Structure 1
C-alpha cells in the first residue's frame, strides 16, 4: 500500500492536469467516510456557543420562589395576629380609641366638679391631645397624657422642653395649659400630637373665693385633677425638666415590676432586679394583686414627693389623692403643690398606692447637681438618668444657665444663639488654681472689654468655686476645701446671675459649654480655609475634662507684670506673646492693630490675668463701667 501511495503521489505531481483514475476502496472505509461527512454537516449548521458551566439541578430563582411560597403564609398569620406589629403593618391599619369614660367623684365633695370642666375649649384640648390608637396600648392602658402648665415667663423653658424632650424622643399626647396670653402663640403650629389651650389664671371653685387657688402651683393640681377626671392617665411635667431618655417605657417597666413583685411568688426574682427600692414600696401598699399604682413621682429630699414630675393614673385612688391635696391647699394657703400632695399621700396610706421613683434614674436637682457635684456636662456623667429637674434654683435665669452648662438647652431661637455663622468669639482660660476672686473678676472684665473693642462675643471659662455649696444644697461656705473645684458663672462667688444677665446683653457672652453644643457651626464661615470651626466634639459617655476636644486655635498672651503672681506656678504655653506699650494696659488702637484682621471665628487667649484694657473714647469707657457696676455690683 505504501508503494502504491507513493506512486500515486509522484504521478499526481507530474500529471496534475490529468484526471485521476478512481481508486476502489473497501466497503468499510466508505461507510466510515460517509458518517464523518454527515457529522461535519450537522456541526456546520449549528450556531457557535462558548463553553459554559454545567447547569445546576435546581435554579436559584426557583429555589427562592419556593422558599417565599412556603414562608409567606406563616408570616402573614403572625403579622395579622401580633398586636404590637400587626396594628402598624400594611395588612391592618390602626384604629382610633374612643375617649375614655369620666371617673365618678370619690367622697371628697362635689365642689371640684366645676374646675376647668365647664370650659369647652379646655375639654376639647384634652381630648385632642389624648387622641390615641389601639396600637399605642401598653398593658391594656392608654398612653399617658403629658401635662405642662406655663406662664408667659416660662416661654423660653417651654420651647426648650419642646425641642430637647418632646421632639427629641418623638413623644405624643402633650397638653400645654397656658395661664397667660401669648404662650400658645410662641409654640410652633406644625407640631403634631400637641394641644395648647389658654385658660384664665383666676380659676376658682364654685363655692369658694379662696385666693390661694389662683396661684399657679395650685392651678397645676386643678388641671391635673380635670384630666384625670376625664379618664386620662396624666403625667405632670414642669417646664424646667429635661428628658435624657424616654421616660414612658421606664415607667411601664416599673408597673410590670410592681405587679410581678406583688403578684409573684416570694422567691421570684423581680422584673427589674437593679431597682431594690421597689420591694419596700410594694410591701407598704395594699395586698390585692389587681390594684395599680395610683401615683408615681420624683422623690423630694424635704417633702418626700416632687411635683415637677408626677404621674397620676385615672383611677379612683388617683382622683381621690388630687381631691385631698386641693382640699389641704384650701385650708393652708401657704402649702406648695408638693407639700399638699405629700400630706395627702400620708393621710391616704393604705387606701391608695404611691411610689416615689428612684433618685438614681429620676434625680432631683440636689441629687443630680450636688451629690455628686455636676456643674458642667462632663462632670460625673449619668448614663442611667432618665429625667433631670432643675428645681432648687431660684429664678429663670439661673435655671436656663444651669441647663446650658449641662448641655440640656436645645433652643436656638430667632436670633440664632448657637448657629449664627457670622458671629465671632473670644475664648480665654483661668489656669491658676490659686487665683483670687478679684483676679478672676478683673480677667472677666478684661475679656468683655476686648470683646467690645473687637466686636466679638465672650465665651466664659471655668471659675474657681470661691464659695462652695453646702451638703444640703441650701447655702454656701466661705472657702472651698478642694482648691481645684471649678464652678460656672452662676456659682461664682456672690455674683447674682439674674442681675448679671439683666445688665449685660445676651449677645455679649456665652456659657462655658457653648462650643460643644450640637447646634454650633461645624464649619468656618468666610476668612481663611485653615480657620477652625466654632463647634468642638464632646464624648458624653467618657466623662472628665478628657471628654472635651481641646481648642485648636493658637493661644495668645498679652504680657502684664501682675500675671506671674496670679498664675502661682500654673503652666501656660502661649503660641504668641504681645507686649503693650503700657504694662498690662493695652489700648484700643493696639488691640485692633493686633487682632482686628484676624478672620478665625474664635480668638483664644491663654489667660487675661492682670490686664486693664483702655478704651479710645472716655464716654465709651464710662458707659462700660456703668454697665459692669450694674452687673456685678463692683
Structure 2
C-alpha cells in the first residue's frame, strides 16, 4: 500500500495514517516523500516512509488544482507505481485525502482482474486502486507515463483513464470498477449522500471515503474537520488547555431574501468580538438557502440528508464552507470548525467550562432572545468596543464564551485597526466546491 506526499500536503498524510492506517493496524503501508521536510514529519509520527532522491521545486507547498505544479506532481505517483510493479509488487495506491472506515484489502479480491479502481463519477479515479504486476498492469502505467510526456497539461488521472479506456476496448486489460456504495468519491459521499454535517446519513457500507470533488488542501482539511474525520493536532489545535473560545448560533430565519445578509453581518460581529476578547471563534452553522450544493441558489444536499435544523424546523443548517472561500479564511482569521467541541481531542475541561448563554441586543433589534444574560446597548448599530470589553471581562476564566445570537451585535469596526482589513480579506464568498470566488 503506497501513498505519496510532499511537505505541502504532509498533514493530510499524517491524518490518513492516524485515522486509517494505524487505527486499523494496517502494516503493509509505505509513505513516499518527495522532500526531506515531509520525511522528517513522517519519521516523527512513526510512519514507515521512503524519501525520493529528486525534489520538486514546489515540494514545500500545496499546489492549486489544475496548476502546472499540481499536474507535474501527479505523475510522480504513476512513476512510483510502475517501479513497484516492476519489482513484482501488487500495489494499492492511496491518495492522502482519503479515510478508511474499514480495512479495504478484504474488499479488493478480484482474482481475474489486473486492476480494481475507484470511480470518480465522470472517469476512473487515480487516487485509489489496486493493480497487479501483470504485463497488462505494467503496460498501463508505462503507456500512461508516455502519454503524460507527450501531453504535459494532462494529470495522471487523465492519462491513466484514457489509457485504461483504450486497453479495455482492445481487451488488453481486465479491469474492475469498484462499487460507489463501498468506495464513494467526494461527490457520491458528501453531495449525493446528503452529508453536510457529522451524523448525517451514516454510511454502513462505506469502506473508503475520498475527500475529492472540492478544490484545495484547506477546503479538504476543513471538510474533514467538520465531519470529525481529522485527528492531526498540530500546534495543539485541539488539545491546548489554556486557549479561550467563543461560540454563537444563527437561530432565526429571516426569509430567503435577507437571511444570508443577516448571518454574514453577524459573522463579522462575531469575529470582531472574539478579537477584542482574545478568543478563537468557533464558527456557527448557517441556514441553507437555495443552491445546488447547499449554498445560495438551491439546497438539495441538506434537504435530502441534513439532520441539523434551526429553530424553524423547515430550515436545515449547513457549514461555513458552503458560502466562504476557506483558503482565504485560513490566511486571515483565527477560527475553529462548527463541530470543534465534538472532537474527542478537545480536553474535557474545555468542553465543561462554558459560560451561561449570553445575548447582545442593540436598541434597533426586537427582543427575540430567551437568554437570561442579556446585554442591551443604546446604540442602534450594536455594542461598542468599550462595552464589549466591560461586559465580558468577568468571563475571562471561562474556556468557552457562549452567545445565543449576534445579529447586529457590534459597531465600531473602524476601531479595530488592521483587523478590519483581515475581516474584509478573509470573508470572501465562494461556492461549496470552492471552484469560484465571488
The TM-score by the shorter chain falls in which range? 0.7 to 0.9
For residues 400 and 71 of structure 2, the distance between their equivalents in structure 1, rounded to whole angstroms, comes to 49
Contact 1:233 1:313 in 2 (8 A): yes
Q: Structure 1's 190 and 392: CA in aligned 2 closer, same or farther, altered over 3 A?
A: closer
2:4 equivalent to 1:183: no
For residues 158 and 600 of structure 1, the distance between their equivalents in structure 2, rounded to whole angstroms, comes to 35
2:54 equivalent to 1:200: yes
Mapping of 1:325-336 within 5 angstroms?
A: 325-336=144-155
SS of residue matched to 1:188: helix
2:211 corresponds to: 390
**Residue 454 of structure 1: which of 268, 277, 291 is its match?**
277
For residues 45 and 197 of structure 2, the distance between their equivalents in structure 1, rounded to whole angstroms, comes to 33
Contact 1:212 1:329 in 2 (8 A): no
1:112 corresponds to: none
1:418 corresponds to: 238
Cα deviation for residue 514 of structure 1 reads 0.3
Q: 478-487 or 235-244: which moved more?
A: 478-487
For residues 373 and 92 of structure 2, the distance between their equivalents in structure 1, rounded to whole angstroms, comes to 56
1:516 corresponds to: 342
2:381 equivalent to 1:560: no
For residues 166 and 271 of structure 2, the distance between their equivalents in structure 1, rounded to whole angstroms, comes to 56
2:97 equivalent to 1:300: no
Q: Structure 1's 354 and 201: CA in aligned 2 closer, same or farther, altered over 3 A?
A: farther
The root-mean-square deviation of aligned C-alpha atoms, in Å, is 2.7
Contact 1:212 1:330 in 2 (8 A): no
Mapping of 1:115-194 within 5 angstroms?
A: 146-189=1-44, 191=46, 194=48
The answer for unaligned runs of 5 or more in structure 2 is 58-67, 304-313, 430-438
For residues 457 and 213 of structure 1, the distance between their equivalents in structure 2, rounded to whole angstroms, comes to 32
SS of residue matched to 1:158: helix
Q: Structure 1's 294 and 323: CA in aligned 2 closer, same or farther, altered over 3 A?
A: same
For residues 56 and 266 of structure 2, the distance between their equivalents in structure 1, rounded to whole angstroms, comes to 49
For residues 300 and 169 of structure 1, the distance between their equivalents in structure 2, rounded to whole angstroms, comes to 25
For residues 14 and 161 of structure 2, the distance between their equivalents in structure 1, rounded to whole angstroms, comes to 29
Contact 1:450 1:613 in 2 (8 A): no
Deviation sequence 1:349-378 (CA, Å, 0-9, x none): 233221111111110000011102212112
Deviation sequence 1:303-328 (CA, Å, 0-9, x none): 1x111111111222221221222233
**Residue 500 of structure 1: which of 318, 324, 329 is its match?**
329
For residues 214 and 71 of structure 2, the distance between their equivalents in structure 1, rounded to whole angstroms, comes to 23
1:344 corresponds to: 163
For residues 189 and 316 of structure 1, the distance between their equivalents in structure 2, rounded to whole angstroms, comes to 38
Cα deviation for residue 397 of structure 1 reads 0.9
For residues 406 and 605 of structure 1, the distance between their equivalents in structure 2, rounded to whole angstroms, comes to 23
2:185 equivalent to 1:364: yes
For residues 189 and 313 of structure 1, the distance between their equivalents in structure 2, rounded to whole angstroms, comes to 32
Contact 1:213 1:330 in 2 (8 A): no
Contact 1:241 1:388 in 2 (8 A): yes
**Residue 311 of structure 1: which of 112, 130, 134 is its match?**
130
2:65 corresponds to: none
1:237 corresponds to: 94
The answer for unaligned runs of 5 or more in structure 1 is 1-145, 204-210, 260-291, 525-531, 535-551
Contact 2:249 2:285 in 1 (8 A): yes
Deviation sequence 1:465-517 (CA, Å, 0-9, x none): 346235xx9xx76355767242211111xx3221121122xxx3100110011
Q: Structure 1's 156 and 195: CA in aligned 2 closer, same or farther, altered over 3 A?
A: closer
1:128 corresponds to: none
- Between 1 and 2, higher relative CO (CA 8 Å, sep ≥ 6) is seen in 2
Q: Structure 1's 436 and 200: CA in aligned 2 closer, same or farther, altered over 3 A?
A: same
For residues 425 and 70 of structure 2, the distance between their equivalents in structure 1, rounded to whole angstroms, comes to 37
Cα deviation for residue 553 of structure 1 reads 5.1
For residues 71 and 115 of structure 2, the distance between their equivalents in structure 1, rounded to whole angstroms, comes to 24
**Residue 370 of structure 2: which of 573, 578, 581 is its match?**
573
For residues 631 and 622 of structure 1, the distance between their equivalents in structure 2, rounded to whole angstroms, comes to 15
Q: TM-score, normalised by structure 1?
A: 0.59
Deviation sequence 1:15-40 (CA, Å, 0-9, x none): xxxxxxxxxxxxxxxxxxxxxxxxxx
**Residue 318 of structure 2: which of 478, 487, 500 is its match?**
487
Contact 2:253 2:287 in 1 (8 A): yes
Contact 1:201 1:216 in 2 (8 A): no
For residues 75 and 280 of structure 2, the distance between their equivalents in structure 1, rounded to whole angstroms, comes to 41
2:86 equivalent to 1:226: no
Cα deviation for residue 562 of structure 1 reads 4.2
Q: Structure 1's 630 and 389: CA in aligned 2 closer, same or farther, altered over 3 A?
A: same
For residues 212 and 160 of structure 2, the distance between their equivalents in structure 1, rounded to whole angstroms, comes to 17
Contact 1:184 1:198 in 2 (8 A): no
Cα deviation for residue 601 of structure 1 reads 1.5
For residues 243 and 316 of structure 2, the distance between their equivalents in structure 1, rounded to whole angstroms, comes to 31
1:603 corresponds to: 401
2:306 corresponds to: none
Q: How many pairs does the alignment contain?
A: 401
Bigger radius of gyration among the two: 1
2:426 equivalent to 1:631: yes
Mapping of 1:10-25 within 5 angstroms?
A: none
Cα deviation for residue 427 of structure 1 reads 0.9
Q: Structure 1's 190 and 419: CA in aligned 2 closer, same or farther, altered over 3 A?
A: closer
